[in-house]
Structure 1
Amino acid sequence: MHTELYYFSGTGNTYYIAKKIANSFPDSKLIAIGSLDLELPIKTDAQNIGILFPVYFYDAPKIVKRFLEKIELSNNPYVFLIANYGGGAGNALANCVTILKSRHIEVSTTMSFTLPDNSIIFPTPEEKMTPMLEKADHEIEKAIHALQNQEQSDLPSKKLGAHLVSKLMLKYSTDYLGFNALKISEDKCTNCGLCSKICPVNNIATSATYPQMNHNCEMCFACLHHCPEEAIRFKHMKPKTNYQYTNPNVKLKELLQI
């Protein structure tokens, strides 16, 4: 039974979940959403369809929502959604279910996992990271068993409170903090090109001097957390060190192959 896992991942948390699931299904394929042309329909005849993503501002990333508007399924497959977050899922899963339902695509089950936060603003304390990752590992293994049995579950519904908080968080993070307008410090940047390679949506262009940010940022912070010189910041990011997070179970070369 063919399985396709569509995922969006910046610092590796979502990729790690997707990889563990893929390794448990004999005929599976990992597909990075950022690698797809979302101007065209995304057609698939897989029997199992998984869509995995991180939660941003109590919602799904914009690129994931665009993908949901483009995917076209056949043969009434088993469809599941998986979210991961540092603070809470908000309406992320419920919003995705709604989009798919409006397109007459039925979701069989949704799941979510708590993993270290990469938002900088609400960092996961270092001493809590290992226990959190170990707990997530155990929960993912249980989830894999449920997915292999194609279990169904009740689907989440939208909550007004989460919707309002999401709007406020997004506005504050973009209008004031500048999450979507990252800056590269010319003094620190060595023009190694890693940020351009690691960006899952090709938002960073290389140049002879130093990389240039475009206007398609998904606020995943892949570039910020992977920069070896800590040369990338958002507008009102306080001076600090030792703030970078990447999933310790995912190698850089794995994300560069996305």
Structure 2
Amino acid sequence: MTNIVTMIPVRMASTRLPNKPLLDINGKSLLQRVYENVKKTVPGDVFVAAGDRVIVEACEKFGAKAVLTDPALPSGTDRIAAALKEIDPEGKYDIVVNFQGDAVNVNPAVNNELIAMIERTGCDIATVGMLFDKAGDVKVPSNVKIVMGLREGEDEGRCLYFSRAEVPFIRNPESCKNQDFYHHIGIYVYRAESLKRFVDLPVGVLEGREGLEQLRALEDGMYIRAKLVSELTLDKNAPADIDTEEDLEEARKWIK
């Protein structure tokens, strides 16, 4: 039987939305909403990887398990790895889900597809992609592209590269059957051993160039696989994450 744990990395240091994890959404904090969504949807244990003691104290009040981690850790990936080391020194967990603490509108069920993909293929890391709706969005550097060689009818495959550039280039549009571009969505599920290996690696050359940490894994020969999904959110008219005051107000409209 596969042992699964979901880690929700959370810290208070949000510049655009101060105290974001503990902001109220119709009687419950953003963090509590996310935790409860995950708890009822994804199998296995759920922990909050907290960067601040106030988050641990908030978790205790609504019954969530939390692990206090170093607030100076450079990324959410480092935070969940540190929390995993704390709670699982004997290595009982096989798969680690990384679920963002502000992703209140992301359907946690997508992680179940990624868990199944890891179990089926043995990949190190599973992630998510979507087709670009608008051609112009492909040119935007903040919209990260996945390079995969998918054939007709395939909805998952090995990730060959990730880039902020418009890749792969289409040399002969008239004869090229697959002209799709895949938008990378930063949702990750790891084999536990692969997560430990990843955070121990030095920053990669390509990672430093593109500013994308997943390239560190590819440079080291790790197997990343992506699943294409058509729907990601619980409410398709609301933002997936809470980044601004406007996002928060939208969440308060649809979450009851």
Fold similarity call, TM over 0.5: no
TM-score (structure 2 length as normaliser): 0.28
TM-score (structure 1 length as normaliser): 0.28
Is the strand fraction higher in 1 or 2?
A: 2
**Larger relative contact order (Cα-Cα within 8 Å, sequence gap ≥ 6):** 2
